[in-house]
């Protein structure tokens, strides 16, 4: 395959192309279909093991928010003693505590 054989399409998500009459009728038929009639045989069931081993998307980046926190000087010194990244370390410690607390509520 040569480079000139490659076809590229661009989609403008702000202004998507209008649906054809056939596409609209297919969507109406799908919407009116009762949930029990939807064929899900090709979708494997998600077990508890799946969710226990699930990993947050590696590209997920939570929104950071700047805050002012008052803490004991010795705790702050301990965090800073490992060098750069003490704020990230603090965030990791708090996230772990949050996840443990959330997990204990189940």
Q: Where are the domains of the chain?
A: 63-106
Q: What percent of the chain has pLDDT over 90?
A: 49
Rounded Cα distance, 28 and 58, in Å: 36
Query: How is residue 16 annotated by DSSP?
Result: P
CB atoms within 10 A of CB 79: 16
Distance CA 50, CA 37 (A): 26
Tokens of 20: 């054809």
At 38 the pLDDT is 80
Residue 106: pLDDT over 60: no
In terms of pTM, does the model score above 0.85?
no
pLDDT-derived band of residue 88, with 50, 70 and 90 as boundaries?
Answer: very high
Tens-digit pLDDT profile for residues 11-51: 888 998 899 999 999 999 888 888 888 888 899 889 999 88
Range list of H helices, 2-106: 21-32, 48-52, 73-80, 86-104
- Beta-carbon contacts of residue 80 (< 8 Å; ≥ 6 apart): 86
pLDDT at 105 over 80: no
């Amino acid at each position: 395959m040569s480079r000139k054989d490659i076809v590229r399409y661009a989609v403008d998500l702000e202004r998507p192309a209008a649906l054809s009459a056939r596409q609209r009728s297919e969507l109406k038929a799908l919407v009116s279909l009762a949930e029990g009639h939807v064929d899900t045989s090709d979708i494997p069931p998600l077990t508890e093991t799946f969710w226990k081993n699930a990993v947050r998307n590696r590209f997920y980046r939570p929104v950071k928010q700047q805050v002012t926190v008052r803490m004991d000087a010795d705790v702050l010194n301990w965090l800073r003693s490992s060098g750069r990244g003490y704020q990230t370390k603090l965030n990791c410690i708090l996230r772990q505590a949050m996840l443990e607390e959330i997990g204990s509520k189940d």
